[in-house]
Amino acid sequence: MLGIRCGRGGPLISHLFFADDSILFCRASNISYSRIRSILRIYEQGSGQQVNIQKSKVTFSSNVKLSIKRSIIESLEIESGNTQDRYLGLPTLVGRNKRLLFNDMKERLWKKIRGWKGSLFSFGGKEVLIKAVAQAIPTYAMSIFRLPVSLYKDLTAMTSKFWWGSRNGRRKISWVKWDQLCLPKQCRGLGFRDLALFNHALLGNQAWRILKNPDALAAQILRAKYFKGAGFLEAPIGNGCSHIWRGII
């Protein structure tokens, strides 16, 4: 079963495993999908586990004909995926629309804060919620993408409003700048995350992994697509590159 390439000379990717989830890649043909069915059947017989068809999706390239899509969907008896599907809080299909990509984080944080508003919390309780929940929501996305500055501001504003509280629908006075609260406690802060700095640190860690582990799958894919024949430190941003590469570089 042939996989896909993300760039000329890049490695063939036939599968990706993450925790208890799997992604399989192949050509959009009945032969390939028959092989997938056979592989899944062998896995079920050998492990005693069963693939959850209701939680499975099939996604096609935009170049695949509609008739082929319908034939494969009917053969696999699996629903077709769409741009609304999400995995770990991010769209499974990422295009160039940043608003669609990142707006979900604002909505998730707003829902959390709205659910907390009806409860009475001490500042100690609020500190725990902000560190363990509110500022953890964008962590996975920040390890992959560089978030827009406007999103940093929006997320910080919502978190700050929850911290200082409100009365009769009006926000209370912010007695200390948020930058001060982001300092370590030994520096008279509270140790809240500066989202912009944290985002840069996570992406810097990804860059270090690519530099130190050039044989890793992610490093091979990015090298084939963006800096083939050059070193990582000399790699250009280039035109039309992905959100991921633009953030790392």
**Per-residue pLDDT tens for 182-241?**
999 999 999 999 999 999 999 999 999 999 999 999 899 898 888 887 888 888 887 778
Residue 17: per-residue pLDDT: 85
Residue 180: per-residue pLDDT: 94
- Can you tell me the distance from the alpha carbon of 186 to that of 195, in angstroms, rounded to the nearest whole number? 20
Q: Are residues 148 and 101 in the same domain?
A: yes
Q: Are residues 213 and 200 in the same domain?
A: yes
In a domain, 7, yes or no: no
In a domain, 213, yes or no: yes
Q: Are residues 156 and 223 in the same domain?
A: yes
pTM of the predicted model as reported, rounded to 2 decimal places: 0.81
**Domain boundary at 26, 60, 81, which?**
81
Q: Are residues 130 and 220 in the same domain?
A: yes
Domain count, the chain: 2
Q: Are residues 217 and 119 in the same domain?
A: yes
Q: Are residues 75 and 49 in the same domain?
A: yes
Residue 210: per-residue pLDDT: 92
Q: Are residues 247 and 149 in the same domain?
A: yes
In a domain, 10, yes or no: no
Strands 86-87 and 90-91, bridge-based pairing? antiparallel
Which neighbouring-strand residues pair with 90? 87
Q: Are residues 150 and 43 in the same domain?
A: no
Tokens read off for 36: 């997938």
Sign of the alpha-carbon torsion through 8, 10, 13, 17? negative
**Domain boundary at 29, 59, 81, which?**
81
Q: Are 12 and 4 in contact (CB under 8 A)?
A: yes
Q: Are residues 76 and 91 in the same domain?
A: no
For the chain, the C-alpha Rg in angstroms (whole number) is 22
Output 157 or 238, whichever has higher pLDDT: 157
Residue 95: per-residue pLDDT: 65
- Can you tell me the distance from the alpha carbon of 163 to that of 151, in angstroms, rounded to the nearest whole number? 18
Residue 155: per-residue pLDDT: 95
Tokens read off for 34: 């028959």
In a domain, 8, yes or no: no
Q: Are residues 224 and 211 in the same domain?
A: yes
Residue 51: domain span: 15-81
**Domain boundary at 65, 81, 97, which?**
81
Residue 83: per-residue pLDDT: 60
Sign of the alpha-carbon torsion through 47, 51, 57, 63? positive
In a domain, 2, yes or no: no
Which neighbouring-strand residues pair with 4? 13
- Closest CA relative to residue 181, chosen from 160, 167, 200, 166: 160
Tokens read off for 133: 């929940």
Question: How far is residue 95 from each of residues 15, 41, 119, 152, 203, measured CA to CA in Å?
Answer: 21, 33, 39, 21, 20
Write down the residue that tokens 């809080």 correspond to: 89
Tokens read off for 39: 């592989």
In a domain, 166, yes or no: yes
In a domain, 204, yes or no: yes
Summary mean pLDDT of the chain: 86
Q: Are residues 146 and 159 in the same domain?
A: yes
In a domain, 4, yes or no: no
- Can you tell me the distance from the alpha carbon of 29 to that of 64, in angstroms, rounded to the nearest whole number? 10
Tokens read off for 102: 């990142």
Q: Are residues 35 and 141 in the same domain?
A: no
